[in-house]
Structure 1
């Protein structure tokens, strides 16, 4: 038996770039999501990486300024969390309420408690956990 050479496959670039237009749409959707989750302004600012209260107030008025790469990624993770909840809970209201409920899988903390630690890694971990739950990995 003769060994065959494996053809190299080029690595795809890291995560796709979120355009300015997409970032604006993400920001508007994030405002709506946070309303559905009934977050306080302080909670919203923390989830958005320490956004200033003034900037958050402008966002709620529909005035979205520049968003950096980290903020865009935070919003993408939040949308992934929302998507996971919509797959798991057919009734949207149950999914919105779930983020505040104590969860044994999180040592009695809620998903919001996890997200409020403020690290992007916490958002990514919660998103991954929801994806695993809905996919039965």
Structure 2
């Protein structure tokens, strides 16, 4: 079967995939990723302990050092986590007003995914896969999937 005719030709160029396994890509993205994460942490009123868990179990001393001197190269895992969280932040601000968008992660949620927990607790317990699920859920709500 010839699938060439299955989809219309798009006038848009496909998005370039960024290879986070290259140090160059991580060097380019790390500073802005951390800046965005710390802005998100303030907006969501995250305790430092909660932020450390979202970053994959970062120690408190490392977290405070990162806040003081964010110029560093992050690992693939941490950039991926931050990317999901920033996507969640953006989706929330598209779906809800600023106040609710920033409180949403701290509110108990009856959606079956969360089972009455807060989205923050769900993401802390489930790590990257839970962040991915929350991102997909919000993207679907806004019609992105």
TM bucket by the smaller chain?
Answer: 0.7 to 0.9
Check whether the contact 1:31–1:59 (CA below 8 A) recurs between aligned residues: no
Return 5+ residue gaps in structure 2 as ranges. Answer: 5-13
Point out 4+ residue stretches in structure 1 off by more than 6 angstroms. none
1:127 equivalent to 2:129? Answer no
1:109 equivalent to 2:111? Answer no
Q: 1:49 — aligned with what? A: 56
Q: 1:16 — aligned with what? A: 18
RMSD: 2.3
Per-residue deviation, 1:5: 5.0
Counterpart of 1:102 in 2: which secondary structure?
coil
In structure 2, do the counterparts of structure 1 residues 136 and 23 end up closer, same or farther at CA, with 3 Å as the change threshold? Answer: closer
Aligned length in residues: 129
1:39-75 Cα shifts (integer Å, max 9, x gaps): 1111000000011111110222243323111111111
Q: 1:77 — aligned with what? A: 84
Check whether the contact 2:31–2:70 (CA below 8 A) recurs between aligned residues: no
Return 5+ residue gaps in structure 1 as ranges. Answer: none
